[in-house]
Amino acid sequence: MFLLTLPTEISFRPNNSPFNHKSHNKIRTRQRLVFSSRKNKWRCSATEQPQSQPQPRALQQKRQSKNKKSQSDAEKGIDPVGFLTKHDITHKAFAQFLRERYKSLKDLTDEIFNRHLNLQEMASGFEILGMHRNVQHRMDYMEWAPGARYCALVGDFNGWSPTENCAREGHFGHDDYGYWFVILEDKLREGEEPDRLYFQQYNYVDDYDKGDSGVTIEEIFKKANDEYWEPGEDRYIKSRFEIAAKLYEQIFGPNGPQTEEELEDIPDAETRYKAWKEQHKDDPPSNLPPFDVIDNGKNYDIFNIVVDPVWREKFRAKKPPIAYWLETRKGRKAWLKKYTPGIPHGSKFRVYLNTPDGPLERVPAWATYVLPDADGMQAFAVHWEPPPECAYKWKHKHPEVPKSLRIYECHVGISGQDPKIASFTDFTKKVLPHVKDAGYNAIQLIGVVEHKDYFTVGYRVTNFYAVSSRYGTPDDFKHLVDEAHGLGLLVFLDIVHSYAAADEMVGLSRFDGSNDCFFHTGKRGHHKIWGTRMFNYGDHDVLHFLLSNLNWWVVEYHIDGFNFHSLSSMMYTHNGFATFTGDMEEYCNQYVDKDALLYLIFANEILHALHPNIVTIAEDATLYPGLCEPTSQGGLGFDYFVNFSASEMWLEFLENVPDNEWSMSKIASTLMARRQNADKMLLYAENHNQSISGGRSFAEILFGETREHSSIMKESLLRGCSLHKMIRLITFTIGGCAYLNFMGNEFGHPNRVEFPMSSNNFSFVHANRRWDLMANGVHNGLFSFDKDMMYLDRNEKVLSRGIPNLHHVNDTNMVISYLRGPFLFIFNFHPTNSYERYGVGVEEAGEYEVILNTDEKRYGGEGLIGRDQYIRRTITRRVDGLRNCLEVPLPSRSAQVYKLSRILRV
């Protein structure tokens, strides 16, 4: 555990951080947030503090003091409403809400520091909670269950006995916060004797044969006496009263003076010291003290010590006798010979709780490997402690975070082609190479955290610290992440902290028999639509659980980032199911959960401080103001936010709007929404929601059954192929620096996703991916185009070239054109009209060359633009407010990307 002493005041800044993680020697953060301990309170400059009628001079002094504090906060970069000023937002109620939220943030920080050494400890609960190996040949188990009266561990290691391994008052018991502590002693093998040293330690992991030399404890102690201790130093004083008692015995004991005459006057200390030194003048030098005490007679100089320089250097050079103590440690080899584990690797267990409602058995909340219930059997945790020689060893480092993200969203279970649940191993072997070849630089995994019901896709999480056992073991998942890193792919996790499964036997609901352990009580504790449980973010121990969970996935599994799922569910008491008009009042009224917002601020600050290269993505359908603004300026601190409206618009167009009625203005405004943080926007044309949540994929809408019947008109197939490519290209290149695609959509997967459930007789027909379709036909063309689209960004850095300059939107011609760096993007969505020389404006005069054309035959197009037409030269004519004009051939339902290849100087 890496715990540092908390300074009086700490800040999330490069040169002043309360965190010190072993993986990072230097912490670099982009935003700053200053916290104050409770002993040194300070206030935000924007917060008014009432005071009783000061006199004019006192009032002036107070104002001066306030101005100084305001300046101090400003120097630290703290402004609770800073982003409002930056974006010229003048809503007073929301500004006041931000100020009050900032004050609550400071109060919450003070509360945390009352119980935790620092914020790293707050986010490292997994180091002590759950099941952990102790070096004193035992296992320690800790669980939070404040509503329980009794706690025990039951499993196949103790015959499921609720009394053998328990915590009870006066023995191990629990603390005032409801944390129970149970010890599982390792068992002596037959014929072995207990260790003579009570605190005998064993090295279970590193160099697990070290210390098994057979040297006895007596030999080690004798070696320490001979080599380290000075004469007399090896004896410990048993009590702090021992010296005083001996002096009392010498003066007033039976062998001491019996009368005042015999006692005589006690000489001063210097005289007695000189007499003692004279008495021992013939003793060996090592027995004499190497210093003299001399009183110079000065009032302020009580005593002065003159030390032998040789002795002083010897004393300073002396180190604690740790080396000798370490020799008493035994290695794993000695432990295996002497003990059997109190709970062996692979053992099944649960926690037994006695509650006011009676006895309960639960899967531990901090369990790291869980087997959900099957065949009517109750779920249980599995103790995962493989031998050191079998434990997974990491091979690759985290890849560097690129300036633009091309994210490939995956679900491991449906990633195989066979009608079954695919495994981590299958995914590692077959899908990861495809993702790398397709040009993506990150994968986002959904449904990885343990959940009871497969058909829920993984969003009703039951065990937040466990990878889903239906895909493999924890080591299998580590191998997946490690191989992804080896391919240069970042690994993001879709994290669901906005709600939890309502299952009581395997999840957290009514964990300790009470209704308010992890969640709100009453109606607020239940999602109005989904029936899930809602966390109580105002509870300190719930924060401890959730913040530690984020840190756990990074520390244990080397995750590179998180997509925070469905923030609307947690940020509003109506769970996001309300009509939003865009009025700022809706973001600060009585329906906003301030505790949830504070949790998100802490999550972002702690993650970015502990792991500077982490990436956090906000999935909020309401687009809460300040999602990606620095927390020090009143924001929530995310790196990216998801623009849901893009995919909703495309779905609406494809299903309900005729091709010739598509609005170019709506496309442009929707895709470029919220230009304030356009560089932080993550866009996707379609993700898993539309195909998993009962809807159809775009390919299913566009193609229907045309791929199976050659008699279907060629025009229908061409339409679907053209729109599929154009929709993806404009969504990919017109937004921010991040793009996401769901697994299979890059080649136009023809089927929806449907998980096995009772309504389909638990069929796996639609719970897989048809990778074989990429071999030829329209799907091969779509994949080739998507691959070249990804490579366009990889080679030309298109997404990281700033916000596009959208300069041409023509609803009549159905043409959109924009510039992004030296690149010109032009789209003709018209279903029938083609243009031989369509003029659009460009800033630089020169030659522009086509580098990507959706209409090429290898992409399933018609190839109407010949290669001899790929290079176009500008003409001097002011168009679209730009100095030059480029006239280009523009077939219907096609798009081209031009690059400025040569600049012409006029």
Question: Active-site positions?
Answer: 619
* C-alpha to C-alpha distance for 94 and 84, rounded to whole angstroms: 9
- Sheet with 894-903, side-by-side order of all strands: 805-810, 815-820, 823-828, 894-903, 846-853, 871-873
Residue 76, helix vs strand vs coil: coil
Length of the chain: 906
Contacts of 7 (CB under 8 A, 6+ apart): 18, 37
- Residues 711 and 705 sit within 8 Å (Cβ to Cβ): no
Neighbours of 566 (CB within 10 A): 20
Q: At what angle do helices 645-656 and 714-734 cross, to 10 degrees?
A: 160
DSSP annotation of 427 reads I
Q: In the structure encoding, which two tokens stand for residue 194, read together?
A: 């207990």
* C-alpha to C-alpha distance for 489 and 479, rounded to whole angstroms: 13
- Angle CA 513–518–521, to nearest 5: 75
Beta bridge partners of 358: 355
DSSP letter string, 228-273: TPPTTTTSPPS-TTHHHHHHHHHHHSTTS--SHHHH-PPPPHHHHH
Chain centroid offset of residue 516 CA: 25
CA nearest to 826, candidates 906, 765, 885: 885
DSSP letter string, 827-882: EE--SS--EEEEEEEESS-EEEEEEEETT-GGGTS---S-GGGSEEE-BS--BTTB
- Pairing type for strands 34-36 and 640-642 reads unpaired
Alpha-carbon torsion (95, 100, 105, 110), positive or negative: positive
DSSP letter string, 8-26: SEEESBTTB-S---TT-SS
* C-alpha to C-alpha distance for 337 and 328, rounded to whole angstroms: 16
Q: In the structure encoding, which two tokens stand for residue 228, read together?
A: 């380290």
Chain centroid offset of residue 820 CA: 33
Q: In the structure encoding, which two tokens stand for residue 461, read together?
A: 């999480």
